[in-house]
Chain A
Amino acid sequence: MFVSYKWLQDYVDLTGVSAAELAEKITKSGIEVEGVEVLNEGVKGVVVGHVLEREKHPNADKLNKCLVDIGAEEPVQIICGAPNVDKGQKVAVATVGAKLPGNFKIKRAKLRGEESNGMICSLQELGIEGKIVPKEYAEGIFVFPADAVVGTDAIALLNRDDEILELGLTPNRADCLSMLGVAYEVAAILGREVKLPETNLEPAAEKASDYVKIVVEAPEDNPLYSAKMIKNVKIGPSPLWMQARLMSAGIRPHNNVVDITNYILLEYGQPLHAFDYDRLGSKEILVRRAHDGEKFTTLDDVERTLTSDHLVITNGTVPVALAGVMGGANSEVTSDTKTVLLESALFNGITVRKASKDHGLRSEASARFEKGVDPNRIRPAGDRAAYLMAKYAGGEVLEGAAEVDTLTVEPVVVSITLEKINRVLGTNLVMSQVKEIFERLQFVASVEGDTITVTAPTRRSDIKIEEDLIEEVARLYGYDNIPKTLPVGSAALGKLTAYQKKRRVVRGYLEGAGLYQAVTYSLTSKEKAAQYALEKREAIRLAMPMSEDHSVLRLSLLPQLLEVVKYNSARQNENLAVYETGNIFLANGTDVLPEEREHLAAAMTGLWTNHSWQGEKKPVDFFVLKGILEGLFAKLGLTDKVGYVQAHVEGMHPGRTADILLNGSKIGFVGQVHPGVQKELDLKDTYVFELSLQAVLKEKTDDLQYEAIPRFPSITRDIALVANKETVSGTMKNIILEAGAPLLKEAHVFDLYEGDKMEEGKKSIAFSLKYAHPKRTLTDEEVTKVHEKVLAALKEKTGAVLRG
């Protein structure tokens, strides 16, 4: 809502309160003033001039030579290029020395040999947006009414010396969608009176109800319809001050009748509609739901197809307006209109919202119905508009109004105790302070003991319950004045859950291992959603996506993480290590919440170690990622529960990918991105893993228990074996550990050779074995006995033998 500081003074005395000060006060007490616009930024020296003579410029077809009286001793010659300039007009003249927007200075000039002492201005040249300039002046200069006084300040006449407060209104404060509503608010803040606008008319002989009959078939959509009749109107421009106020509010002036309806919309917050009575073609207004498929051309000349969701105003047979949204071309006020039927009505906000949404017609009017208008301001708004039409369109207003009224307006009465107000706010207010606040708001309030009973005015439909009263007290008492305390009560201990704690451990560990945390979008494309999914399910699709790129919920994190790698690689960040934790979404059926599973994914590419001056460079490989995973599982106490098996995962390198198993079940995979995919994404060798973090973090870990440090030395024996190439080390290790138990404590691979010095299909693999006994030093014979057993088991189960 744009509020003119000058206009507001019609209703509230603002003496001693500047626009900026007012903005600050309004903001502090509840409505955010998002800005104060000074309309006239530096324009000066523009006066009303009278065009005394106009003739064609002798040397230029498109220019006019004008003699203009600007209130100086002598008229001045001005060259003007506007097509509509003419003798006898009152115009805005930027005199020599004047300043226009953009710090444009007017100087004496010669145009094609003719002297020009100033410039005749269009409204755009004075800083008014083209789209709100009246149509007839949009392509040329603006013409003032004939009574404008030559030599007076044109800026003031156009209200450009005003300041506009831009209110950011929350949905509950629809009452401030009108100048009067703002006036009540400002009056409460300043503790001043509200002056209401003039509406009094001379009684007329004829009655409005003799001219039209109102029938409402859908009273729940239209509880009140009131029509006033104004005869013998003369369509013409509205008074300059009204046009200026409309333009300041961002509304384009049209003609007196239409401007008055718009003016009342701003002043009262009540949308009105003026019909050309003679074009209605009947003496009836029938309000009903539209028929499905019914056609109707709105006054923007668009033919619309209606449904029974839409409420229409008809002449008894065909629609003449889409209720609360837009009038029809068939009954629009034109320059020939003589008799006006003025509608002031209450339409159901939800019905209006549906129609304005369906037809893409959000207007100032529909917005007000949607948010709710004051039911007690419907008739006064009509009266005020009729009064203005009598005054500024020469109309005769007929007596009364033709109406259908099924509206019951029950004032809202709320009682609250002082104790409750103070208990909720933490204040120590006394009753007189509370009562004074409601009086400033012009709420009727009565006190009985500790209880105050408040009747909220109908304009404040947001006041319904005790808490609403508390809010009124709080905001007018001032939040600055409320004390600062901390909640009292049990000193509960705040802490993270085990899951949350472990999630932080995972992040900290991965970052310590050199990975940066990324956060990507949950919404992705259908194609990407399916890639690398651990569980193949149909991705959940939005009903109305904004783009295909963000149309479904992800089933895996890797596709977006690979995008991150791609983005960075293209920007010279070739050595990259990133991870992400986030949810994936598994559908459970329509109208059932999906399963959300937290995943962890990582992607690494480029060099792992790079110590430039030592010439050390090691690219990332499978075992770097596996090492990171092993460290992670060790950190979480899951080493013994995790395993890796060679696996085929779509989009992954078939020879360099392993499934990650937890207690034997697959929870994820690790490996190299398939070279084909790498090429497609323009990536160098990229290694990734993705796993269900949820499965990992929910896995119970054993309680920490101290184990005695071995007091007796261990014995290490290394073995170099010749094994079949396809016998994986993991299998061999398991055999070794099993056969060597319980004296064998550890076994690890320390060498691997698969070169051409080996027999075809064989490899050399060396293990280091560590034997120990917790209670004594082992003897050589003891170890040898077990060691032999290990070798025998290896030979038996894999054919591996000691290398000769």
Chain B
Amino acid sequence: MQERLKELQAEAVQKVEQSASLKELNDIRVAYLGKKGPITEVLRGMGKLSAEERPVMGALANEVREAITAKIEAKQAELEEAAVQAKLASETIDVTLPGRPVKVGNHHPLTKIIEEIEDLFIGMGYEVAEGPEVEQDYYNFEALNLPKGHPARDMQDSFYITEEILLRTHTSPVQARTMEQHQGKGPIKIICPGKVYRRDNDDATHSHQFMQIEGLVVGEDIRMSDLKGTLEVFAKKLFGEDREIRLRPSFFPFTEPSVEMDISCKMCGGHGCSVCKHTGWIEILGAGMVHPNVLEMAGYDSKKYTGFAFGMGPERIAMLKYGIDDIRHFYTNDVRFLKQFAVEE
């Protein structure tokens, strides 16, 4: 009997080792450890044994049973693990295939430039002021020291609707309106972005509609040196810390003195190249101290208050910054153009 049990154990262990699937293993379990299995059968024959032999044999039978069970469990774990591995292996993917595309659009390059400039000036304490695109002649010209018949009106031939109403030719009327709203009191720090319109034939460098951003600071002690310092902060933040600025005298009816600001050419580092027409400098914006007539017309006492103003063209800035060669690209909206401005710098 003892031998029979040992034999069964060896036999079962061998079968377990040879088994290749969980089902086979289960069959082995049922075959050897089941109620109809050989071990049970052996135990049934224990009645024939002596009282001394019985517990010894019983213990042995349990030992065998446990050994087989342990073996089965070990094998089962092994088989399960192999099955998991096989499943994982079969699930392998080609990780170099492209991902599921997430569609993302982006700002128009002009909006990108405008928001960048807005944020820069907001950081310096400015607010963003907006105004109508269809303006009264008064705000567009007269309040800016450009009376009717003024020769400087030729500089910006305009789209009139009636004699008194026109499409604004610059965003300066927003300045005039803002000053008027302040009723001659208190400081102003605004920038005014927006669309403007001039009678130009559309070509590579002209557009009958374009953007402008103007800035205005009015206060009791605003100096030309403040303008210079402000513009330098702006230029370095927008174009790079290594860029230099210079101011050149110029003329605008609404500022006196008036200046134009150049930045050093990025292409040649100021040595002169075709981009900067061999001057080493690139014109960026016009600026100046607010003309006393403009302050007075808006109700400010020009003896007490001074101010500075500046204005620039986002198209020009975008063209310089990104190397765009034709202003019409901005208004054609070719998606192959638009999608190039997705990157946040």
Residue of chain B at shortest CB distance from A371: B151
Within 8 A of A (CB), among B215-273: 217, 219-226, 228-230, 232-233, 246-251, 253, 256-260
Are B165's CB and A171's CB within 8 A? Answer: no
Map CB proximity to B onto A515-526 as digits: 1 under 8 Å, 0 otherwise.
111111111000
Please indicate the chain B residues that have their CB under 8 angstroms from the CB of A614 in the complex: 100
**Contacting residues, chain B, for A544 (C-beta < 8 A):** 159-160
Q: Please tell me which one of the listed residues B155, B160, B223 contacts residue A542 in the complex, with CB atoms under 8 A apart.
A: B160
User: CB distance A171 to B256 under 8 Å?
Assistant: no
Chain B positions within 8 Å of A512 at CB level: 104-105
Which of the segments B7-15, B36-44, B78-86, B127-135 contacts the partner chain?
Answer: B127-135
Stretch of B25-33, B67-75, B334-342 that contacts chain A = B334-342
Any chain B CB within 8 A of the CB of A507?
yes
Q: Considering residues A423, A491, A518, which has the most beta carbons from chain B within 10 angstroms of its beta carbon?
A: A518
Give, as a whole number of angstroms, the nearest-CB distance from A46 to chain B. 28
Say how far A145's CB is from chain B's closest CB, in angstroms.
39
Q: Is B313 an interface residue (CB 8 A)?
A: no
List CB contacts (< 8 Å) of B180-230 with chain A: 187, 189, 195, 197, 199, 201, 208-209, 217, 219-226, 228-230
Contacting residue for B134 out of A173, A485, A585, CB 8 A? A585
- Residue A577 at the chain B interface, CB threshold 8 Å: yes
Interface pair A611/B256, CB less than 8 Å apart: no
Cα A515 to Cα B106 in complex, Å, equals: 7
- A residues in contact with B165, CB < 8 Å: 591-593
Task: Please provide the chain A residues from 470 to 490 with a CB less than 8 Å away from any CB of chain B in the complex.
Answer: 470-471, 474-475, 479-480, 482-490
A596 interfacial by beta-carbon distance below 8 Å: yes
The A/B interface has a contact count, at CB < 8 Å, of: 252
- Chain B residues near A497: list those with CB within 8 A: 127-128
Task: Pick the residue among B115, B195, B222 that contacts A487 (CB under 8 A).
Answer: B222
The residue that A504 contacts in the complex, of B101, B115, B289, with Cβ under 8 A, is B115
Complex interface bits, B280-294 against A, C-beta within 8 A gives 1, otherwise 0: 000000000101100
Q: Is A468 an interface residue (CB 8 A)?
A: yes
CB under 8 Å from chain A, chain B span 117-138 = 118, 121-128, 130, 132-136
* Interface residues on chain B, number (Cβ under 8 Å): 89
Bound-complex Cα distance A27 to B130 (A): 34
Write the nearest CB–CB distance from B171 to chain A, whole angstroms.
Answer: 14
Q: Which residues of B contact A58 (CB under 8 A)?
A: none
Which residues from chain A contact B151 at a C-beta distance below 8 Å?
Answer: 171, 349, 353, 370-371
Q: What is the CA–CA distance of A465 and B333 in the complex, to the nearest angstrom?
A: 48
Q: Are A519 and B108 in contact (CB under 8 A)?
A: yes
Decide if A489 touches B127 in the complex (CB within 8 Å).
no
Q: Is the CB of B103 within 8 A of A475?
A: no
CA gap between A521 and B246 in the complex, in Å: 34
Query: Is A487 a contact partner of B219 (Cβ separation < 8 A)?
Result: yes
Q: Give the most central of A35, A371, A482: most B CB within 10 Å.
A: A482
Binds B, one of A563-571, A701-709, A758-766, A788-796: A563-571
**Chain B positions within 8 Å of A424 at CB level:** 223-224, 289, 306
- Residues in A whose Cβ lies below 8 Å from that of B126: 494
Asked whether any CB of chain A lies closer than 8 Å to the CB of B49, the reply is no
B4 within 8 Å of A by Cβ?
no
A492-B209 contact in complex given A425-B224, A510-B105, A546-B201, C-beta closer than 8 Å: no
| A173 CA to B253 CA, complexed, in Å | 12
14 cross-chain CB contacts under 8 A: A485-B226, A487-B230, A494-B123, A507-B107, A514-B103, A515-B105, A519-B331, A542-B161, A543-B159, A546-B201, A585-B133, A593-B165, A611-B100, A613-B97
* 3 nearest A-B residue pairs (beta carbon): A426-B225, A514-B103, A170-B251
Other A-B pairs beyond A35-B277, A553-B167, 7, CB < 8 Å: A171-B150, A426-B228, A467-B289, A492-B187, A596-B132, A609-B101, A613-B97
